[in-house]
Amino acid sequence: MLYPASGTFLEASAVGFTGAPTDIPTVLDLDIEEGSLAGLTGDTVALDAIVADSAGVDIGDPIELWLGDGTVVTSKVAATYERGLGLGQVLLPRDVVAPHVQAAFDTHVLVQHAPGADRGAVARALGALDVPNLSVADRAGYPARVDEELELSEWVYRLMAGVLGGFAAVAAVNTLVMVVLDRRREVALLRLTGTTRRQVRAMVRWEALIVAATGVVLGSGIAWLTLNGFARGVTGGAPYVPPTQAIALAAAIVLLVLVATAAPSRVLLRRAPTAGTE
């Protein structure tokens, strides 16, 4: 779904519901910020607070929504809520959305069992719907399933990041090795002037630490500037990296630079001429 915002069009995920709007809080805890779901009908819509802010609309204001097939509908904002990122950023009746999508199959059925209800009978009735990939859960089970999906996605993202980081590490190591080996004349001159191997190795280590620290600071700054605007636009907050992960990443970078410079420097020192004793 697309909605206009400051002369541009932004994409948002939509959720269609069936039943009485007043029953939504029994299965979805949206954390209503303003307005009420009681007035949510075919002519009104509930928006995530970030979406409403991006579109510049408030309670009672009209907003144009472009549905999946390009149909434009104008709805009034009945409510805004805080928890749209994990549940859906636009909430409106299913009858409004269903005619404008390729496959109008429900993906999630949220169930609230009445006291004394036959849970087995409810499960069998839902299983007989013959809807592909239908997920059935209650209010407590839905977050658990979402957490499982996010955990699986997180492992996939970590694997991709690891592969990309591996390629970057190989490229960085190759560059550092070539740079150090290219300094053979400089190392030879230092040895001929009486510089000891220990002094040369110390010089190389300090240079490596300066390079690593500069890379960590500049890389962190560039990543922050790049992600900050994206994160605030999507979540309304700044990007967050756990301190333990940040420290581990910085330590890995420093170790990589030290190893990539120490090994070739030892090779140069073995081949360099000497002016005296160590």
**Count of domains for the chain:** 3
Q: Which residues, listed in sequence order, are joined to residue 90 by a DSSP beta bridge?
A: 14, 47
Establish if 277 belongs to a structural domain: no
Residues 256 and 182 in one domain: yes
Residues 114 and 150 in one domain: no
Establish if 278 belongs to a structural domain: no
148 band by pLDDT with thresholds 50, 70 and 90: confident
Query: What Rg do the C-alpha atoms of the chain give, in angstroms?
Result: 30
DSSP string, 203-239: HHHHHHHHHHHHHHHHHHHHHHHHHHHHHHHHHSS--
Residues 150 and 257 in one domain: yes
Residues 95 and 28 in one domain: yes
Establish if 167 belongs to a structural domain: yes
Residues 114 and 23 in one domain: no
CA 163 to chain centre: 17
Q: Among 82, 117, 139, identify where a domain stops.
A: 139
In the predicted model, is pLDDT for residue 278 greater than 60?
no
Check which CATH number belongs to the domain holding 45 and give it.
Answer: 2.40.40
Residues 16 and 64 in one domain: yes
Residues 152 and 98 in one domain: no
What's this model's pTM, rounded to 2 decimal places? 0.54
Establish if 276 belongs to a structural domain: no
Q: Among 117, 139, 161, identify where a domain stops.
A: 139
pLDDT for 277 equals 46
Q: Which tens digits make up the pLDDT trace of 220-250? A: 888 888 888 777 766 667 787 888 988 988 9
Establish if 225 belongs to a structural domain: yes
150 band by pLDDT with thresholds 50, 70 and 90: confident
Q: Let me know if 142 is exposed, middle or buried by CB neighbors in 10 A (0-12, 13-18, 19+).
A: buried
Q: Which tens digits make up the pLDDT trace of 252-265? A: 889 988 888 888 88
In the predicted model, is pLDDT for residue 7 greater than 60?
no
Residues 114 and 37 in one domain: no
Q: What percent of the chain has pLDDT over 70?
A: 83
Residues written for the chain: 278
201 band by pLDDT with thresholds 50, 70 and 90: confident
Residues 192 and 100 in one domain: no
Measured CA distances, 247 to 216, 218, 250 (Å): 11, 15, 5
In the predicted model, is pLDDT for residue 176 greater than 80?
yes
Residues 44 and 154 in one domain: no
Residues 124 and 188 in one domain: no
pLDDT for 138 equals 64
Q: Which tens digits make up the pLDDT trace of 207-216? A: 889 988 998 8
Establish if 89 belongs to a structural domain: yes
Q: Which tens digits make up the pLDDT trace of 24-68? A: 887 777 888 888 888 888 788 999 888 888 888 889 888 888 887
pLDDT for 86 equals 67
Mean pLDDT, the chain, rounded, equals 80
In the predicted model, is pLDDT for residue 149 greater than 80?
no
Residues 70 and 97 in one domain: yes
Q: Return the axis-axis angle of helices 141-181 and 243-271, rounded to nearest 10°.
A: 20
Considering only 57-61, 74-78, 97-101, 139-143, which range has the smallest mean pLDDT?
139-143
Q: What percent of the chain has pLDDT over 90?
A: 3
In the predicted model, is pLDDT for residue 276 greater than 60?
no
pLDDT for 25 equals 82
Task: State the residue range of the domain holding 121.
Answer: 109-139
106 band by pLDDT with thresholds 50, 70 and 90: low
